[in-house]
């Protein structure tokens, strides 16, 4: 796969209903996932599980990119092939998570700022040599009493813009992820407000740092009520409010919006994505960049046992196909059985 510029890479990742497999869980997060199926989180087990996903038939046609963790981009399969080459063989592009997690924002107990800019240029140069075609950086915005503050939003969005510029300088597409967390009792209107402020700020900063938007992918949350809210939003309401929010702030020349699943179930995240594509009325591809919502069934089918590899791969292939159909706006609930 030869690309002459970043715009072609970004466009390829979300072409024809394809989306992104987020397999960039840090080792502590991976341990939490493995704990749910009573599997020890060793380097070998993590490698075996990711090899199971990347070698599944579900990769081809459905997955355009895979976000990796630092450990994974350096690993080889049981047979000695690099995982990067395994991903490329499936027709997907390898990418890498480059942020270094969260620190408190100006001493706050509730707001955070993502770190990792200090040595980012050097790390990006190495990841490009290792075969990464794109990168990801996550900003986290909380909703609560008096938050998010505009200062916290702006600090995180400026960091996202600085990161994006460095990634592009090193020949990789930046995925910019301003995640407004679903945790809390907030209403869908509160989420709309925080998401809108975050995305507006993000694109203002991307412009001021002269980031090429045509070679960038946005990974936002959907606009939903908080996970502990008494308010239950319909699929239609989530779809309409999310599209309205994006249309107000996202430039038409952006190649793709690839949603995070952010605590939604596998079916919810597929259904919401499908609804938005059925509603339509936007200029960019609307796709997925799911972690748990692509992997949970596969993890539960695998259970860390070699004899369950095929079952795990089939479970992953099914979810990947369902989300591709949702990204094309042709999914329906009866296809799940």
What are the residues whose beta carbons fall under 8 Å from the beta carbon of 300, sequence distance 6 or more?
37, 315
Q: How far apart are CA 167 and CA 216, in angstroms?
A: 10
Which H/E stretch holds residue 275?
A: helix 266-279
Measured CA to CA in angstroms, residue 205 lies from 116, 246, 311 at distances of 18, 16, 45
| 177 catalytically annotated | yes
Q: Of these residues, 25, 51, 158, 177, which one is catalytic?
A: 177
Residue 263: half-sphere exposure toward Cβ, Cα within 13 Å: 14
Q: Is the peptide bond before 301 cis (omega within 30 degrees of 0)?
A: no
DSSP lists the bridge partners of residue 218 as 176, 257
Q: Of these residues, 97, 133, 136, 219, which one is catalytic?
A: 219
| 219 catalytically annotated | yes
Measured CA to CA in angstroms, residue 152 lies from 190, 211, 243 at distances of 16, 21, 24
**Which residues are identified as catalytic?**
177, 219
């Amino acid at each position: 796969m030869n690309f002459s510029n970043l715009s072609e890479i970004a466009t390829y990742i979300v072409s024809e209903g394809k989306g992104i497999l987020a397999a960039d869980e840090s080792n502590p997060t991976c341990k939490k996932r493995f704990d749910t199926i009573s599997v020890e989180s060793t380097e070998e087990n993590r490698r075996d599980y990711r090899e199971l996903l990347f070698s599944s038939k579900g990769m081809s046609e459905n997955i355009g990119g895979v976000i990796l963790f630092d450990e994974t981009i350096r690993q080889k399969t049981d047979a000695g092939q690099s995982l990067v080459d395994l991903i490329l063989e499936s027709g997907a592009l390898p990418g890498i998570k480059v942020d270094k997690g969260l620190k408190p924002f100006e001493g706050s107990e509730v707001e955070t700022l993502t770190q990792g800019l200090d040595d980012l240029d050097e790390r990006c140069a190495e990841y490009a040599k290792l075969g990464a075609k794109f990168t990801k950086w996550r900003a986290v915005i909380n909703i609560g009493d008096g938050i998010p503050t505009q200062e916290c939003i702006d600090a995180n969005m400026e960091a996202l813009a600085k990161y994006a510029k460095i990634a592009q300088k090193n020949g990789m597409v930046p995925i910019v992820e301003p995640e407004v967390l679903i945790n809390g009792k907030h209403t869908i209107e509160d989420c709309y407000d925080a998401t809108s402020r975050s995305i507006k700020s993000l694109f203002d900063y991307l412009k001021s740092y002269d980031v090429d938007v045509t070679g960038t992918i946005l990974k936002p949350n959907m606009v939903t009520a908080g996970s502990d809210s008494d308010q239950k939003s319909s699929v239609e309401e989530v779809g309409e409010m999310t599209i309205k929010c994006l249309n107000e702030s996202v430039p038409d020349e952006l190649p793709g919006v690839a949603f995070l699943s952010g605590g939604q179930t596998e079916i919810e995240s597929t259904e919401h994505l499908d609804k938005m594509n059925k509603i339509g009325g936007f200029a960019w591809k609307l796709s997925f960049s799911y972690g748990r919502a692509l992997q949970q069934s596969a993890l539960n089918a695998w259970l860390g046992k070699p004899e369950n590899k095929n079952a795990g791969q089939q479970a992953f292939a099914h979810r990947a196909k369902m989300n591709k159909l949702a990204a094309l706006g042709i999914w329906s609930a009866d296809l799940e059985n």
